[in-house]
Amino acid sequence: MDRSELDAYIRAHLSYAGGRDEIFTDSALEELHRYSAGAARAVNKAATHCLMHAAQRAKRLIDDTMVKDVVGAELP
């Protein structure tokens, strides 16, 4: 999927879960797209890890630095 599709995909999944779409910054979404190359499975995996990482640290916003940390440290 391209970047705009990824944005809609993340927003839709957050909405399904009862969340808000402002959790990921634009730069975080850009980093998710760069990491995943648009593959839904990779987006799901990285986004889930980012959400858990943020929750463990009581953060309400996920930025590109957090995505880079999660992708670099926790994902193969």
Q: Which amino acid is at 32?
A: L
Distance of CA 14 to the CA centre of its chain: 10
**Rounded to two decimals, what is the model's pTM?**
0.87
**pLDDT (tens digit per residue) in 42-66:** 999 999 999 999 999 999 999 999 9
Fold that domain 3-74 belongs to in CATH: Helicase, Ruva Protein; domain 3 (1.10.8)
Which of 5, 15, 60, 63 is closest to 36 using CA atoms? 5
Helices (H), 1-76: 3-16, 26-36, 40-56, 64-74
**pLDDT (tens digit per residue) in 7-32:** 999 999 999 999 876 899 999 999 99
